[in-house]
Amino acid sequence: MSKAQINIALMNGEPLAEGWLFRPGDEVRGSTTIMPQEDMNCRSVYIILQWRTRGRGTSHFQTIQRLDVHQGELKADWPLSFEFQFVLPEEPWSYTGHYINVVWEIMVGIDLSWQADPQQNMALQVSPKR
Amino acid sequence: MNTTQKNDNRWIIILGVVVVAILVMCVLPPLMGFGVTFIESLDVSPEVNALLNAATFLVSCLPFLLIPGLFIGYFVYRHLNRVRFGKPEVIVPQTLRVGDLLPVQYRHTFSRDVTCDLFSVQLIFEERATYSQGSSTRTVTHEQVVAETVLANRTFQAGEMIADTLQWQIPHEAMHTLKAPRNVLRWLVRIKFVIPKAPDYADEYEITVQPEIAR
């Protein structure tokens, strides 16, 4: 069982069947709620805007911005909420191909010492108006 | 739109040939040495002995001459068509935006009579993904032919010139060029001659498509 339940909600963007649509250069605003299932002492709670390649090639990750929103104790069943705001760069655009996909996402995680980080992702579609 | 895919195995083949060549170079001379020592032990005349030494020297040298010779022969064969009828002149813009028009100008004068099974000019969007498999690195490519002009079964006379200006477009729904480590998306104009009983002639011209929409 995960050590924490993490929810991500966006306040803007166009909803799609899978993820949310944004234009390059758009602002992404949202919030995340973390519900720890047990007491934890974390190095940080982080929110990341990143893109990565997925598919046949070795994955390449690029973090655009990282926010460290909390350090220290997380108490069981004490929810914590954080708001975030990022500005998307002009490139790359989201892409789905044969061997290569370009995926944008907001990732929220809890950085724990010597343990796997509980994480949650939300996919974004970054595509210009055609 | 037409799609093709291929595995890039050329380097594995070349590496295999080099390894085999090194093994042959290492194994053959000592074997010859053993052979000569054995024949000498049979107590043959000095003339026969001198002949055997000369033969040993020649056979020992053979792989050192033959293997580079094979490589040079392969290189000449691959580039035979470039030598035979030169390099076509192709003018393409280097940088474009998504949705931009793409003028492709080509011109070529044949220096000798050539029969072509196929002459094509293609606009290609290529995905090139590199990954590790065990201790080796492999690259796979997937090509999407976005636009194409084909001339088939033509004989070009010596002195004949082909020239045209094609007007293509980077589609509005297309992706821009992306060069991430081990994940490359790129646009190419490829000019290709398929000539019977000779290696194909192909040349590529890369176009950088910027992440911007042409209005």
pLDDT, tens digit, 9 for 90 and up, residues B12-53: 777 777 787 777 777 777 777 777 777 777 777 878 878 877
Give DSSP secondary structure letters for A91-113. -PPPEE-SSEEEEEEEEEEEE-T
CA distance B209 to chain A (A): 12
CATH class, domain B87-213, is mainly beta
Could you tell me the sign of the dihedral formed by the alpha carbons of A119, A58, B186, A66, in that order?
positive
> What is the identity of the amino acid at B124?
I
Residues on chain A touching B131 (C-beta within 8 angstroms): 56-58
Higher per-residue pLDDT: A41 or B72: A41
Of B129, B141, B173, the CB nearest to A130: B173
Instruction: Please say if the pLDDT value at position A24 is more than 80.
Output: yes
Per-residue model confidence as pLDDT tens digits over B144-171: 999 999 987 888 888 899 899 999 999 9
Chain B interface test: which of A23, A51, A58 (most B C-beta within 10 Å): A58
Per-residue model confidence as pLDDT tens digits over B52-105: 778 877 777 777 787 788 888 877 776 776 666 678 899 999 999 999 999 999
Instruction: Find, among B158, B150, B159, B154, the residue nearest to B190 by Cα.
Output: B150
pLDDT for res A119: 95
Query: Which domains are delineated in chain A?
Result: 4-126 (2.60.40.640)
d(CA A83, CA B117): 64
* Interchain contact B133–A (C-beta under 8 A): no
Instruction: Please say if the pLDDT value at position B3 is more than 60.
Output: no
pLDDT for res B123: 97
User: How many helices (H) and strands (E) in chain A?
Assistant: 0, 10
Q: Which of A65-74, B81-90, B200-209 has the lowest mean pLDDT?
A: B81-90
What average pLDDT does this structure show over A5-21?
91
* Interchain contact B78–A (C-beta under 8 A): no
What average pLDDT does this structure show over A73-94?
96
Predicted model pTM: 0.77
**3-state SS, residue B186:** strand
User: How many helices (H) and strands (E) in chain B?
Assistant: 3, 10
Of A24, A58, A129, the CB nearest to B211: A24
pLDDT for res B151: 80
Cβ of A60 and B182 within 8 Å? Answer: yes
Per-residue model confidence as pLDDT tens digits over B111-151: 888 888 998 999 999 999 999 988 899 999 999 999 999 98
Of B127, B142, B176, the CB nearest to A91: B176
- Above 0.85 for ipTM, yes or no? yes
Residue environment code for A57-93, b if the CB has 16+ CB neighbours within 10 A, otherwise e: beebeeeeeebebbeeebeeeeeeebebebebeebbb
Of A53, A93, A100, the CB nearest to B176: A93
d(CA A7, CA A82): 11
* Interchain contact A95–B (C-beta under 8 A): yes
